[in-house]
């Protein structure tokens, strides 16, 4: 379905993180650890010391990986377990005509490989891209801003909506969660929202999200 041709703002939208939210585990971290283990260790020390931003760390890690290993990286994420209930949640959103936008702080090609046929059901997928023409991977990110490689709030700002639902679990989901009218949070994002005194819904799988929205959207 093409949403961009609509002249009226879409009333409701769902913005969804990818790693650890759509997937059970953070696959991007696993890829980085598998293909650039020593660089990851070095970068993590600097990130914890505060001398390096997460964005700089991710860029350095990905750009240390030879382009010759790109296909192997894509194959590495084959068969990634997705959180249960995604298909029926997407059925529900289609029935309600609510766009589902995936925003990942990782790499688009990895996200698309893991989503498989489900990728077509998202109204858009945002993530960083990689150029494989040089000896090592090169990261290209249209929505890079501040300390973020993919600034999720900046992507939300490109849409008109009256009611945004955000789903996330991590540190890069803070801005997106604070800009949403309803948040489904897990792990770190739930702890952060507790500290901010912001209400959110705890969830484990997409069946939980669907049930909560069925009640709210009656």
Q: Which is nearer to Mg ion, 25 or 91 (CB)?
A: 25
Q: Name beta bridge partners: 166.
A: 15, 183
- 21 vs 123, which CB is nearer to Mg ion? 21
Min. distance of Cβ 23 from Mg ion in angstroms? 8
Task: Decide whether 136 or 178 has the Cβ nearer to Mg ion.
Answer: 178
Residue (112 or 169) nearer to Mg ion, CB: 169
Question: Would you say 202 or 216 has its CB closer to Mg ion?
Answer: 202
Question: Considering the complex, what minimum distance in angstroms separates the CB of residue 29 from Mg ion?
Answer: 9
Under the rule (CB under 5 A), what is the footprint of Mg ion?
17, 19-21, 169-170
CB 66 → Mg ion: shortest distance, Å?
26
Distance, CA of 63 to CA of 70 (rounded, Å): 11
Rounded Cα gap, residues 174 and 188, in angstroms: 10
Three-state secondary structure readout of the chain: CCCCCCCCCEEEEEEEECCCCCECCCHHHHHHHHHCHHHHHHHHHHHHHCCCCHHHHHHHHHCCCEHHHHHHHHHHCCCCCECCCHHHHHHHHHHHCCCEEEEEEEEHHHHHHHHHHHHHHCCEEEEEEEECCCCECEEECCCCECCECCCHHHHHCCCCEEEEEEEECCHHHHHHHHHCCEEEECHHHHHHHHHCCCCCEECCCHHHHHHHHHHHCC
Q: How far is the CB of 134 from Mg ion (least distance, A)?
A: 28
Toward Mg ion, which CB reaches closer, 23 or 123?
A: 23
Of the pair 160, 171, the CB lying nearest Mg ion is at 171
From 22, 102, 109, select the one nearest 73 (Cα to Cα): 109
Rounded least distance, CB 205 to Mg ion, Å: 15
Contact 129, 104 (CB under 8 A): no
Tell me the closest approach of the beta carbon of residue 169 to Mg ion, in angstroms: 4
**CB 147 to Mg ion: min, Å:** 16
């Amino acid at each position: 379905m093409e949403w961009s041709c609509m002249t009226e703002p879409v009333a409701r939208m769902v913005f969804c993180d990818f790693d650890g939210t759509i997937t059970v585990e953070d696959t991007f971290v696993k890829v980085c650890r598998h293909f650039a283990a020593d660089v990851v260790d070095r970068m993590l020390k600097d990130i914890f010391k505060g001398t390096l931003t997460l964005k700089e760390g991710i860029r350095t890690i990905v750009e240390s990986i030879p382009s010759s290993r790109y296909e192997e990286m894509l194959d590495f994420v084959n068969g990634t377990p997705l959180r249960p209930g995604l298909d029926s949640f997407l059925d529900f959103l289609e029935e309600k005509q609510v766009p589902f936008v995936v925003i990942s702080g990782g790499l688009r090609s990895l996200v698309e490989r893991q989503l498989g046929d489900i990728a077509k059901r998202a109204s858009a997928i945002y993530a960083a891209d990689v150029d494989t023409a040089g000896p090592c991977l090169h990261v290209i990110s249209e929505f890079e801003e501040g300390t973020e490689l993919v600034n999720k709030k900046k992507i939300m700002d490109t849409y008109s909506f009256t009611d945004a639902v955000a789903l996330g679990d991590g540190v890069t989901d803070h801005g997106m969660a604070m800009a949403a009218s309803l948040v489904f949070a897990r792990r770190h994002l739930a702890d952060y929202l507790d500290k901010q005194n912001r209400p959110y819904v705890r969830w484990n799988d997409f069946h939980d999200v669907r049930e909560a929205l069925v009640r709210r959207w009656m």
